[in-house]
Structure 1
Amino acid sequence: MSLLTTLLRLEAAETEQAQDASTIRHFHLTERPMVFLPLNRSGTEATPLAVMYGDDRSRPQLLVAPPRGRPTEFLDDLADGILTYIDSFQHTTERLPARGSRPARQRYTHAPQLLVANRKSVPYIERLGRALRFTETPEGTDPARSIGRLGQWLTFFAEHAEYPGSAFLPALTELLTSHWVTGQSPLEDEHLAALMAWIRPPAGTTGLHAALAAEDPQLRRPAGPATDPSFDTFELDPLLTAYDTAAEEGNTAAMTRHTDRLRDLLHTYLHPTWNDAWQALALLRSLPQTPDAHRRWDADRDRFTAYSTYLADDGRPQPIKDDAVSAARRLARLEQAQGAFEARRAMEDPFVMAERRTSGEALAGTVIDTDPHHTITGPSGRPLLRPRFTLHTTDPVRLDTGSLLAGPHNPRVHAAIRSITPRDGGTDLLLEITTLTGTVAKPKPDSVPAVEDHLFLTLAPEFFRQPPFPSRDDTPWTHGGPQHDHPAAALEAAEEAQP
């Protein structure tokens, strides 16, 4: 938690009202997302109790796992519902022209998006996908509509939820807390009803009192993936015990009656959170979306297209574990993406820029000197125009010489730090412009700030680059290569082909 967020949380606690943290949205919300609310059976890792899902607020779909036996029919119905939703995005494509070394290609014009209530639902979906993706497809059935294929897609969504900026599987509580800060703990913020009460309390009450009322287990229970302990003890367990007794006695009428009661009970449990989720979605839609969110969604559509193609061409499930090569490359991609994502957020959002200033990852300062005609000698021996300017700041500086900076005043202009000198209770940074400089004969003066200009700068997104890795052919077998026929290699190739 940053210093700025801590101060806002203290102010929210003092005023009993949520505080605005950001007025722009950094994640894309599709026109037709699917709200997905899973409940897990207590005491087991990934055994569903029920799921409420759908892409229409007025038509929630509720699936309830049987009290006894294997939930095959439940999973078949879930696979049919989710895969039908995914399939609806695999019919319309757009053609992207060749660009540089990248050939022309087709890309789906839209992509699916699953919205879950809270962060804990994301790893649950990952566990569920892992448990299902190796399920064998019965003979005579379509693998593309199978439980195993559902597991593969759930794994796909969960893996990309780890990718910074991806909007395939966002948690609503995470999106909301990036825009509003409450006076309760981050753990309490995971209760969607309480969080929404803080943000939009009923008229005549405060966020604190509205949240306390929303936390009443008799009114609204935290929906997913774990059930409320009091609900288990006083309502769910007695009903399941009664069902077991009826089953042992062979009383089919009682079994049917208890099954209907179970469905009604779980509908009553999940439906308030269903409404909260759609209210949260409407609230988030009211915020303007940043341009970079559109660009990241384009990258998500590329990944969706690539994975759909992989399933059609190969279709093998993701490995149980990454080999050493895949794990190293995946970690490097995530680190690079995290740095670039945070930098781009700072370029578009004053609140994020202010947060980064408190941590030394960004700074604000005044230009005190410029050298617009500074040159260096290029590799060919010819002079290259590299204008310089000096920025004085009183912010803490935790950046190194060589770091590449950019600012919202002109994001395409990058400036490398050439020296850092403490002076007069602050710091002087000598910065050298490396992009959009023009030539010695035809300089671009607009790239050089003027003396007394006040600038906000942070690490440029382009500063974060993935380190080079050897090919699988050059990797010893002890470290995962070469395995050209391994599904990890095909998935990795599809991932690295994205821009």
Structure 2
Amino acid sequence: MSRLSTLLRLEAAETQTAQDASLVSHFHLTERPLLFLPLNHSGTEATPLAVMLGTEPARPHLLVTPPHGRPTTLLQELADHVLTYIDSFRNTERLLAKSRKPARERHTHAPQLLVANRKSITYVERLGRALRFTEPPEDSDPAHSVGRLGQWLTFFADHAEHPGSAFLLALTDLLATRWITGQSRLEDEHLAALLAWIDPPPGTTGLHAALETENPQLPGPDGRLHRPAGPATDPSFDSLELDPLLTAYDIAAAEGNTAAIARHTDRLNDLLHTYLRPTWDDAWRALGLLRTLPEIPDAQRRWAADRDRFTAYRTYLTTDGRPQPIKDDAVSAARRLARLELAQAAFDAHRALEDPFFMAERRTTGEALAGTVTDVDARHTIPGARGPRLRPRLTLHTTDPVRLDLGHLLAGPHNPRVHLAVRAITPRGQGTDLLLEVTTLTGTVNKPRSDSVPAVGDQLELTFAPEFFSRPAFPSRENTPWTHGGPQHNHPAAALEETEKP
């Protein structure tokens, strides 16, 4: 947590009101996301007790595992719902060849899963891992099987780890990026309490509304119980309501009392609906708040990359369809780690260039700086193969902490396309002088571009240019020793990762 975030959290605690931490949205929110609220069986891993899902606020679909039964029916119904949603995205567009990318087809839209909190993202990953090797029954359609559901859930969970991807998002993460509350980050994982801080009822503060909401045994300001948003159930709910109902069902089943069995089954459905419905309503309320924020331009670029990945994976499923490996080999793991590190650095740089709050936060950590231009050499040149090349230079004086090295490439919100390379770092007085060289949009010696060169006295904010971060070179699989996962690995899913551009 940066000093700025800490300061805002302390101010929120003192004023009992959530503080603005941004004025924009860093992720694309689709017109028709699928809200996915899972509840897990207590004491087991990836064994759904119930799932509430849907694309319309007024039409939640509740799927429930029979009391003390196997979740086979629930999983098949879940597969039907999720895969039908994914299959609804069929329209494609033709993209012409550009740079090093060949001409290709890309889906115009893609699915998006929203969950209540970050623990639910982990649950999606575990559920996908548990299901993706499930063999489809004979004479059934593999494209709508439980195993295919597991593959898609794994796909979403894998991309949730990819910084900037919007396939699978936790609403608490999105809200906490926009607002900072006076409670801990762990408490921010309770969706109802977080919303109470952000949008309390009239006449009360965020703190008091959150205190009323977070007690699972007492009605909140809206008169309803707000249980933890899952995937784990509230222990008091288990002991006081769920376990007695399951015990009564067992007794009825042992006695062969079919009327009581049906009655207890209906009671279980009503109980779980009552448990999940407040979170369902809170989730759509949170989505409404988030939709009021303007998206940063880079969100659309990243969503276009997501649509490329969706198109590639859908094509892979139709041509090969094998599930993802249980674990990565050494080559795939190294490539994946490098890709995630690169994506995180570029994502943070784009956010800083398009969000003043995030730029200020990076200044407190030394990943950005602000200063005054004290000198400009607009006619500076360097030798080139075809003659001198124009590379204007300027001196920037800053009192911010400087944690840069020579050669680092910087950019600023004034014109993100203009890149400035650090050529010298000189302490002076209580600050630092940076000698910067403009490397893009300079024009030529005969036709220089003056709009790319700041003037003396200009105030600049700079951070790392997103283009500065490049993927390290990896040897081909054929040139990788077998001890590090060389040529014997031939799963086609690895090829998708190797060719994917962050």
TM range (shorter): over 0.9
- Structure 2 match to 1:170: 169
- Paired residues for 1:99-498 under 5 Å: 99-218=98-217, 219-378=225-384, 380=385, 382-483=387-488, 485-493=490-498, 496-498=499-501
Whole-angstrom distance in 1 between the partners of 2:121 and 2:492:
23
CA distance, structure 2, for counterparts of residue 428 and residue 490 of structure 1: 46
Judge conservation of contact 1:360–1:398 (CA < 8 Å) in 2.
yes
Q: What is the root-mean-square deviation in Å for CA atoms of aligned residues?
A: 1.1
Which blocks of at least 5 consecutive residues in structure 2 are unaligned? 218-224
Q: Would you say the 8 A contact 2:49–2:71 is kept in 1?
A: no
Q: Percent identical across equivalent pairs?
A: 76
SS at match of 1:240: helix
| CA deviation vs aligned residue, 1:200-220 (integer Å, no higher than 9, x gap) | 000000000111111121321
Q: CA deviation at 1:381?
A: 6.5
Letter in 2 for 1:67: P
Deviation at 1:248, TM superposition (A): 2.7
Question: Does the aligned pair in 2 maintain the 1:33–1:114 contact within 8 Å?
Answer: yes
Secondary structure of 1:209 counterpart: helix
Name the count of aligned residue pairs. 495
Deviations 1:18-41 (A, max 9, x none): 011111111000000011000011
Residue 66 (structure 1) shift: 1.6
Structure 1 stretch 433-442 or stretch 327-336: which is displaced more? 433-442
Distance in 2 (alpha carbons) for counterparts of 1:252 and 1:327: 53
Contact 1:371 1:387 in 2 (8 A): yes
**Distance (Å, rounded) in 1 between the aligned partners of 2:258 and 2:474:** 62
Query: Is the Cα–Cα contact under 8 Å of residues 397 and 434 in structure 2 kept in the other structure?
Result: yes
Residue 247 of structure 1 aligns to a residue whose secondary structure is: helix
Deviation at 1:409, TM superposition (A): 0.3
Distance in 2, matches of 1:137 and 1:434, equals 57
Secondary structure in structure 2 of the residue aligned to 1:417: strand
Alpha-carbon offset, residue 244 of structure 1: 2.1
Give the Cα separation in 1 of the matches to 2:275 and 2:230.
10
Structure 2 distance, partners of 1:316, 1:278, is 35
> SS at 1:478's partner residue?
helix
Question: Shift of the alpha carbon at 1:238?
Answer: 1.2
Question: What is the match of residue 63 of structure 1?
Answer: 63
* 1:79 aligns to 2:86 (yes or no): no
- TM-score normalised by structure 2 residue count: 0.97
Structure 2: distance between partners of 1:408 and 1:145? 47
For residue 80 of structure 1, report the CA deviation from its aligned partner: 0.1
Deviations 1:253-308 (A, max 9, x none): 22221111111000000000000000000000001111110111101101100100
Superimposed CA distance per residue, residues 20-79 of structure 1 (whole angstroms, 9 cap, x where no aligned partner): 111111100000001100001111111101000000111000000122232111100000
**Structure 1 residues 66-75 or 305-314, which shifts more?**
66-75
Q: Is the 8 A contact 1:85 1:112 kept in 2?
A: yes
**CA deviation digits over 1:356-403, x for unaligned, max 9?**
00000000000000111111123x273221111000000111111111
Tell me by how many angstroms 1:498 deviates: 4.2
Letter in 2 for 1:178: T
SS of residue matched to 1:170 = strand
For the Cα contact (< 8 Å) 2:136–2:142, is it kept in 1? yes
2:154 alignment partner, SS class: helix
Q: Deviations over 1:211-230 (max 9, x none)?
A: 11111213211121011110
SS at 2:50 equivalent = strand
Q: CA deviation at 1:249?
A: 2.8
- Once the two structures are TM-superposed, the CA of residue 88 in structure 1 deviates from its matched residue by 0.2
Could you tell me whether the CA contact under 8 Å between 1:372 and 1:387 is conserved in 2? yes
What CA distance in whole angstroms lies between the structure 1 residues aligned with 2:117 and 2:490? 37
How many Å apart are 1:489 and its aligned residue?
Answer: 2.5
How far off its partner does 1:446 sit?
1.2
| Counterpart residue number, 1:94 | 93
Counterpart residue identity of residue 269, structure 1: Y
Find the aligned partners of 1:382 and 1:253 in 2 and give their Cα distance: 92
User: How far has the Cα of 1:484 moved from its partner?
Assistant: 5.7
Q: Could you tell me how far apart the structure 2 residues matched to 1:236 and 1:170 are?
A: 29
